[in-house]
Amino acid sequence: MPNSKKTMSLDLDGFMNRIKDMEHGEKLDLSSDEDLSIAIMNLISIEEHLFFTANKTGKSSYYDLLYEVREIRKELLKKIIKQYEGEVWCISKHLLASSMRLMEVGTKALTKGDKKEAQDLFKKSYDLYSLFWGLNMGVVDLGSSTKSSKMSDKIDLISEDTPAKSKGSVGVFDKLGAMVKKAIDCCIE
């Protein structure tokens, strides 16, 4: 992993320049895509609720609704996931679904007064959400290396202003979270 601040800064600058290039070409609007990803999360939840309602009530008409919602979700997911290989499409969908569910469970824990559990669940939810963006923005490239450290090298985007426990203990999810925060912040109108 690169240790010099200059290397990390160049990595971050290169990534941010890529984001700006995509914005100018109108290929990417992260603030809109962030909203769209939340909508997709909710559509996945609706699919799940329609499935369970169909089974609990025995009414197959809920499956028809599930199909219609699924088609909308697939169409919208294509707006965010433009290129993918292998099972990245499904991985992406499940990352969003898991992120949403952990967020909901965290909210319930918060309602019960268990702030520590809620914060842990919220962090895990954001970690999965960040991984979704890392995969779909080309920051996480799992196919180009045989060493797991390569993924960490590629997303070594920690800057001096990034809050961290200590520079040596920052993990992949922390780096992805910092990358997503910077990318989203730079794109908000």
Whole-number average pLDDT of the chain: 75
pLDDT of residue 6: 36
Q: List pLDDT tens digits, range 19-44.
A: 555 555 444 555 788 899 999 999 99
* Cβ contact 66:50 at 8 Å: yes
Q: What confidence score (pLDDT) does residue 11 get?
A: 42
Domain ranges of the chain: 5-187
pLDDT at position 16: 55
The three-class DSSP label of residue 64 is helix
DSSP 15-40: HHHHHHHHHHTTS--HHHHHHHHHHH
The alpha-helical segments, DSSP class H, found in the chain are: 5-24, 30-57, 61-80, 88-111, 115-136, 149-154, 172-187
pLDDT at residue 88, as a whole number: 86
Structure tokens at 97: 């679904």
Residue 50 above 60 pLDDT? yes
Interval 87-122: pLDDT, tens: 889 999 999 999 999 999 999 999 999 999 999 999
Indicate whether this model's pTM tops 0.75. Answer: no
User: Residue 1 is encoded by which pair of tokens?
Assistant: 């992993």
pLDDT confidence of residue 152: 46
Q: Identify the pLDDT of residue 44.
A: 96
8 or 81, greater pLDDT: 81
For position 176, what pLDDT does the model report?
A: 65
